[in-house]
Amino acid sequence: MRRELLISAAAGLTLFAAACGDQTAMDEADTEAEMDQTSEMAASEDMNDANDPYAMEDDGDMDAMDDDADNLGQTEAVNEVQDAASGPVGMTSAAATGGDTESFIEAASIGNQYEIQAAELALEKSDHADIQALAQTILDDHQALGEELTSTLDAEGLTFTAPATLDERRQGLIDNLQAASGEDFDETYLDQQIAAHQEALTLFKAQGERGDNAALSSLASSSVATLQAHLDEARAIEESVENAEDEM
């Protein structure tokens, strides 16, 4: 109502000035209306901040939150979308490998590095006993798998230099784990492990069935049971966590 009165008053002054041919009066009327409207908006914002318990006390607090978000690079919703998209991409890539030796070695090596880093984060950040136990099992098994892969390559005279860093997709998964905490971390880790082990099973089964190197095919086939056990345990824990949440 106050804003409508101000605008009406300004309009009246403007018409009066125009009728008198006084341009100065028109300018003053416009300026007065703009100043009153600006003051009203500022007062309204101050009142909203005063009534909002979550309002920032100063721009420094907002800048600090923005810096934190920039450092993490994600929000929880964005992370969930990224993780959900990673699964189908990984499955498609694993299936496309089709037993090709070079592709299998690279994919298995990168996947193993991701599993080890993710497990180390779970041991550091999760307070859930079952998740801690799963992470320790995955860490031990994938470290052993990495050593077995290296020894097989040496025995076969195959040279492969493992990348110093993860590929962009898996680094994104690690970034999402680093950004998560508490129950969000547990859920994120379990979701990632289910997707990652589905991908690994597709890759290792293809190598075992159609691989063009007998030693690597044997390694892949013998690893399937371990990968399946990881997947089954991750699914069981996730179901248990969800049931516990439903009962709360």
- Residues 99, 176 within the same domain: yes
Residue 63 in domain: no
Counting residues of the chain whose pLDDT is more than 70, the rounded percentage is 60
Q: What is the pLDDT, as a whole number, of residue 247?
A: 78
Q: Say if residue 217's pLDDT is above 60.
A: yes
CA dist 229 and 225 (Å) reads 6
Instruction: Please indicate, yes or no, whether residues 50 and 81 belong to a single structural domain of this protein.
Output: no
222 lies in a domain? yes
Reported as a pLDDT band with limits 50, 70 and 90, residue 91 is low
Residue 95: per-residue pLDDT: 58
Tell me the CATH number at 226.
1.20.1260.10
Give the pLDDT of residue 80: 59
* Residue where one domain finishes, among candidates 55, 84, 100: 55
Residue with tokens 């009153």: 36
- Joined together, the tokens standing for residue 89 give 């991409």
Instruction: Evaluate if residue 11 carries a pLDDT over 60.
Output: no
How big is the chain by its Cα radius of gyration, in Å? 30
Residues 162 and 214 in one domain: yes
CB-based contact 106:203 (threshold 8 Å): no
Checking if the pLDDT of 138 tops 80, the result is yes
Least confident window among 9-23, 153-167, 230-244? 9-23
pLDDT more than 90, % of the chain: 55
In whole numbers, what is the pLDDT of the chain averaged over residues? Answer: 76
- Stretch 62-85: mean pLDDT: 51
Cα–Cα distance for residue pair 24/164, rounded to 1 Å: 72
211 within a domain of the structure (yes/no): yes
pLDDT of residue 145 exceeding 70, the answer is yes
- Is pLDDT above 50 for 227? yes
121 and 149 belong to one structural domain: yes
Residue of 188, 206, 196, 207 lying closest to 142 (CA atoms): 196
Residue 98 lies in a domain: yes
Per-residue model confidence as pLDDT tens digits over 36-69: 554 454 444 444 444 443 343 444 444 443 444 3
Helix H, strand E, coil C: the string for 193-205 is HHHHHHHHHHHHH
Domain hosting 16: range is 2-55
User: Do 47 and 131 belong to one domain?
Assistant: no
pTM score, two decimals?
0.65
Is 76 a residue whose pLDDT tops 60?
yes
Residue 182 lies in a domain: yes
105 touches 216 (CB < 8 A): yes
Question: Does the pLDDT at position 19 exceed 80?
Answer: no
Is residue 62 in some structural domain?
no
CB half-sphere exposure, 48, CA atoms < 13 A: 7
Total tally of structural domains belonging to the chain? 2
DSSP letters, 28-89, are HHHHHHHHHHHHHHHHHHHHHHHH-TT--SSHHHHHHHHHHHHHH---HHHHHHHHHHHHHH
Q: What is the pLDDT of residue 82?
A: 54
pLDDT at 220 over 50: yes
Whole-angstrom distance, CA of residue 60 vs CA of residue 107: 45
